[in-house]
Amino acid sequence: MSLSAHNNALHVPVLLQPIIDLLTPALQDEAVLIDCTLGMGGHSEAFLTAFPKLKVVGIDRDAQAISLASERLSQFGERFTAVHTTYDDVDQVAAQFGHDGQVDAILMDLGVSSLQLDETDRGFSYSHDAPLDMRMDTSRGETAAQLLAELSHAELTRVLRVYGEEKFASPIAREIIRQREMQPIERTGQLADLVRETIPAPARRKGGNPSKRTFQALRIAVNNELAVLEAAVPRAIEAIRVGGRLAIESYQSLEDRIVKDALNTGLVSTSPPGLPIELDDHAPYLKSLTRGAQKADRHEQEQNPRSASVRLRAVERLRPTPSHISQPYRRQGSAS
């Protein structure tokens, strides 16, 4: 194993045992699990080890993650397959590798991976000076530096406010425009300094690094993360068989809101109010396996700081999706 793969293999996946426990009832016999966010393969390795007959398909848009995780998981032979794509293609992956177009379980561990945070030259971290890239797939798309060079004040303000929930979005955007007229903003250190100097001193004393929200916003914008997630969750629901299970870990409120809304579509009855009985075609077709969003306990948060903000939601599929339920992200010909 390469040095990078070895170092990243040491990262312990968040809420690993609870996720294994939640998905276990769906993973009998020669089951198929899709790990939608392969990263360094920590979750995939744990499942392949725990279930000797399990087949895992790992999705990642990051070619470096695909390479290193495949190296790490080579010991499992044909039981592991990697697919280089975005995880909103989960339905197509299920159609290719599942049984009759569906799989037994799906896992999503959202946000930026350990690999991307720890490889300083990728530009995801405000703690190390590096080129402002932030692309999860470095073979395509615009970098964060290019976005900063092109977006208007109004567009920058919207990105920072919506994706970063940054209350100082407008002054930060104004300072970005002012400074880029003098020289391009092309490094993480430049941007971190700019944000720190723009945010009022009292606001800098709480809430961690003042650049955190700006870097989050740019990463989401560069990788179109929320649009991918909005499409991925409904497709994941359709890609699991009856009795199959879906678990999703979110790390910030925008992600968790999208996940919660998508799952709620299948968790609530659509029968008209006031009826004495539940209409068969209007009963919930999902069952929640967590009470709200499950969080990491204090011990895990102390051992793994990245677990502090996690929100885990999991569901079981009770029956096929009723025909009257709108599915805007469903592809033509996908399994029901």
Mean pLDDT lowest for which of 158-162, 201-205, 225-229, 282-286? Answer: 201-205
Please state at what angle helix 225-239 crosses helix 90-97, rounded to 10 degrees: 30
Query: Beta strand pairing status for 55-60 and 32-35?
Result: parallel
pLDDT-based confidence at residue 6 (cuts at 50, 70, 90) = very low
Q: What are the pLDDT digits (tens) for 232-278?
A: 999 999 999 999 999 999 999 999 999 999 999 999 877 777 677 77
pTM of the full structure: 0.89
| CATH fold label, 121-223 | DNA polymerase; domain 1 (1.10.150)
Measured CA to CA, the distance from residue 191 to residue 185 in angstroms comes to 7
- List, as residue ranges, the binding site: 41-43, 60, 87, 109, 116
Which helix (H) or strand (E) segment holds residue 69: the answer is helix 63-72
pLDDT for the residue numbered 115: 58
pLDDT for the residue numbered 127: 81
Measured CA to CA, the distance from residue 298 to residue 89 in angstroms comes to 35
Mean pLDDT of the chain: 89
More confident residue, 216 or 125: 216
Q: CATH assignment of 3-115+225-317, given 3.30.470.10, 3.90.480.10, 3.40.50.150, 3.40.190.10? A: 3.40.50.150
pLDDT for the residue numbered 327: 75
pLDDT-based confidence at residue 116 (cuts at 50, 70, 90) = low
Q: Are 307 and 300 in contact (CB under 8 A)?
A: yes
Contacts of 299 (CB under 8 A, 6+ apart): none
- List, as residue ranges, the binding site for S-adenosyl-L-methionine: 41-43, 60, 87, 109, 116
Measured CA to CA, the distance from residue 292 to residue 294 in angstroms comes to 6
Q: What is the mean predicted confidence (pLDDT) over 180-186?
A: 96
pLDDT for the residue numbered 4: 44
Q: Show me where the domains of the chain are located.
A: 3-115+225-317, 121-223
Q: What are the pLDDT digits (tens) for 7-39?
A: 444 467 899 999 999 999 999 889 999 999 999
